[in-house]
Amino acid sequence: MKRTATIAVTAVVALVPATGEAAKAESTKRCPQDAFCVWSKPGYQGKKVVLTKNGVSNKIANQMNNRVSSTKNKFDLTVFIYDKRGAKGEIRCFSSNSKEADLGGSYNFDNRAASSLIPKDPEPCF
């Protein structure tokens, strides 16, 4: 009788750290509303950079140059990224409220992004 109770307590304790780790992994995958988030690894993992301001930005180049592998666009706007600073070079677009788990493959933009443009007005994805 006493032995059964000990096993039950041990099982509860073991569950606590597992839950905490799962919550931590989930928070790094999250992207707030009205933000464009990029991650250094596919599947929204690794280092994350969050872009929220309208206009051209070199924040990706400054913090994660040529390492972006996945993206989430939580704007009601198309967002553009470029392979050179200052919104120059080759371009890719992300439709409003879309996500891309892997910029490799047909996207052909893995580890290439350097700058971004969040326009003030809605523009179509080409």
CB of 67 to Ca ion, least distance (A): 4
If one asks whether residue 65 binds Ca ion (CB under 5 A), the answer comes out as no
Among 57, 69, 71, 116, binds Ca ion (CB under 5 A): 69
Residue with nearest beta carbon to Ca ion: 69
User: Which is closer to Ca ion, CB of 65 or CB of 96?
Assistant: 65
Positions 22 through 41 that interact with Ca ion (CB under 5 A): 40
Among the candidate windows 10-18, 51-59, 66-74, 94-102, which touches Ca ion by CB under 5 A?
66-74
Give the dihedral of Cα atoms 121, 48, 19, 102; nearest 10 deg: 80
